[in-house]
Chain A
Amino acid sequence: MADISIKGLKKTYPGSTELATNNVSLDVAEGEFMVLLGPSGCGKTTLLRMVAGLDFPDEGSISIGGRDVTYLPPQDRNLSMVFQSYAVFPHRKVRTNIGFGLVMKKVPRDELEKKVAWAADLLQLTPYLDRYPAQLSGGQRQRVAVARAIVMDADVLLMDEPLSNLDALLRLDFRAELKKIVQQLGSTTLYVTHDQVEAMSLSDRVAVMKKGQIAQLGHPITVYEEPADRFVGGFIGSPPMNFLEGRVTQQGALEVAGQSTEAPEFLARSAARSGGLPVMVGIRAENIYLEDRGTPGTLDATVEVVEPLGHATLLTMDLGGQTIKVQVASTVRVSSGEKVGLRFDQAAIRFFDTETQLGLTA
């Protein structure tokens, strides 16, 4: 009933030559939680504003629930939104801010009060209901913006970094809370964030954006484990994926940092045809294991920096002149300068084309 279908959206802001969104197509199923993830300035807000009807695209179309809404004004789209800037009305108390949309919808008074109380309770705003926004902290104001959006029961819920201004603890709390609420409401949700943990934990699917385009669209685990290109691998994950320059020889060996291991079948075959193939090897820090120097099947490396994180220890290592991050259990005792061997989890290695930066698959 309220799936979103976005087709070939192009938008250039007046006075700018760059495309803020470049041919974005995206289908969000009814009730799906879709996260738009990407670095600052990649066009997430722009895309959301076009779905909301606050900006109109130069090209392309948007339909909600099968109805073409591309050029419809926002009030005719039955959606609600959390603005990146909050846009909490400064002249209204928290209570009437949260209830604004319901008043516009002419919801009966007692139902309105019940809903406002419910949302305020959920977002821990009850003590502040009779304050003006100027008397709130930034995080509280942001929660008012979220409360105002969730009371609407709209078909489509648009959220632009709704948790960005909360402290780490509160953010963790509200992340789970939000997931629960949205599931209850059943709204089709487009959620913008540049926090990849948030994206992973909340989404049914993630659309990773880069320079106005969708670089990869998929289930969060797929995007994490099988990034479509080097950008996605480098953007998602903390620490980001390691990238090492390597080469598959004609004989089918993978050479990294002057050392050699076995290359996967499909690469060996194409390397045999082309007489050697330069590749970019991608591996996540948690898929590398520490072994004694000289163990067969390991690469020689030297520990440079040891960073205990509590739940794990992050090591920065030198691998034949290239830097690599390795995550090991916090019980592992190593010190900088130590010479060790590294074993890569073969199943977790990803390969990327050195020219196009795109992932190479069988």
Chain B
Amino acid sequence: MLLIAPSIVFMTLLFGWPMVSGILQAFGGPEGLTTANFTRMAQDPYFWSSVGNTLLLIVVMIPIQFVLALAMALLIRAKPRGSSVYFYIWAIPLAVSDLAAGLVWLTVFTDRGYLNSVLASVGLEPVSWLAYDNYASMFMAVLIAEVWRATSLVFVIVVAGLQSIPKDYEEAAGVFGAGFWDRLWHVTLPLLRPSLQTALILRTILAFQTFAVALALTGQNFPLVVGETYRWYTGLQDANVASALALVVMAVSMVTAVGYLKLLKDQSEAPR
């Protein structure tokens, strides 16, 4: 106890203190503790649209990312020529910050961006992809940018997971008559479950925090929850409501993580 005491103190200071102060701030007001911050947060016209946008983004983006990452990882496992090169190329976006990624895609989607130049060169009318009244295309732009930026995280985790599965199992399945899809469904995916679970939790929590990409691409036109936190803090100078928002994001993230763990619980007591 005495030996681990310093580390406990350290951990408390490092993690506990900011958290406690954040919580206090979220419930803090001019006259003591209050839930007024949450009320203000919920009454803000942008709040519910940011919640909707965030959820929509998560629901659409995560399946796409998992399918893509899995397909890429399986391709690499099949070891075609130059598979290690693919790996590094696909892992590059890991190193790109979200703001930078947003700016990269801005050059594509902006009114005089690459996409419109291409359209113009084939004789089509340019489109205001990121305009406020063009919700679908705005959403697509944010989606594409986020998929481009953040699929590599899932990919790297899945590749690592696949590497730890001996080929024997898939081979055995093949010998016993399983084709590609049967092998994937009955053998590879179940064995990959721990990695998929990790990737899913990480990716979902990070997806709740998406905001720089949307900010760079659309400014305020496509609000996301964490973007709102930022706006309350810097734009509206209200740290209390910003904390309340942050607290909501944290709570939702935690609930999601626990939910995933429960949902994907491995029935076999020792998976390997």
Contacts and interface: CB of A to CB of B under 8 A. Distances in A.
Interface stretch (B67-75, B229-237, B264-272): B264-272
Nearest to A14: B79
A52 B187 CA distance: 19
Interface string B153-170: 000000000000010110
A152 interface: yes
B270 A75 contact: no
A83 B270 contact: no
A85 B176 contact: no
Contacts of B187: 89
B177 A85 contact: no
A132 interface: yes
A104 B182 contact: yes
A294 interface: no
B176 A101 contact: yes
A75 B171 CA distance: 10
A100 B185 CA distance: 13
A79 B172 CA distance: 11
B270 A87 contact: no
A175 to B, nearest CB: 23
Interface in A18-75: 52-54, 73-75
A135 interface: yes
Instruction: Give the one of B166, B168, B177 with max A CB within 10 A.
Output: B177
A81 interface: yes
Contacts of B166: 85, 87
B176 A148 contact: yes
Contact of B272 (A53, A81, A134): A134
B271 A89 contact: no
Nearest to B179: A75
A134 B269 contact: yes
A90 interface: yes
Interface string A93-114: 1000000110011000000000
B174 A75 contact: yes
Interface in B144-201: 166, 168-169, 171-179, 182, 186-187, 190-191, 193
Given A85-B166, A85-B168, A91 B175 contact: no
A79 B270 contact: no
Contacts, number: 74
Nearest to A100: B176
Given A85-B166, A90-B191, A91-B190, A52 B270 contact: no
A132 B190 contact: no
A353 B191 CA distance: 55
Chain A contact-residue range equals 20 to 34
A87 B168 contact: yes
A142 interface: no
A74 B268 contact: no
Interface in B31-45: none
Nearest to A103: B186
A89 B190 CA distance: 10
B176 A132 contact: no
A101 B183 CA distance: 12
B177 A135 contact: no
A80 interface: yes
A100 B166 CA distance: 18
Interface of A: 52-54, 73-75, 79-81, 83, 85, 87, 89-93, 100-101, 104-105, 132, 134-135, 148, 152
Given A54-B174, A89-B172, A92-B268, 19 more contacts: A53-B174, A73-B174, A74-B171, A75-B178, A79-B175, A87-B166, A87-B168, A87-B169, A90-B169, A90-B268, A91-B190, A91-B193, A91-B266, A92-B190, A93-B268, A100-B176, A105-B177, A134-B268, A134-B269
22 contacts: A52-B175, A53-B174, A54-B175, A73-B174, A74-B175, A75-B174, A75-B175, A80-B175, A80-B176, A81-B175, A83-B171, A85-B166, A87-B169, A89-B172, A90-B272, A91-B268, A92-B268, A93-B268, A100-B176, A101-B176, A104-B177, A134-B272
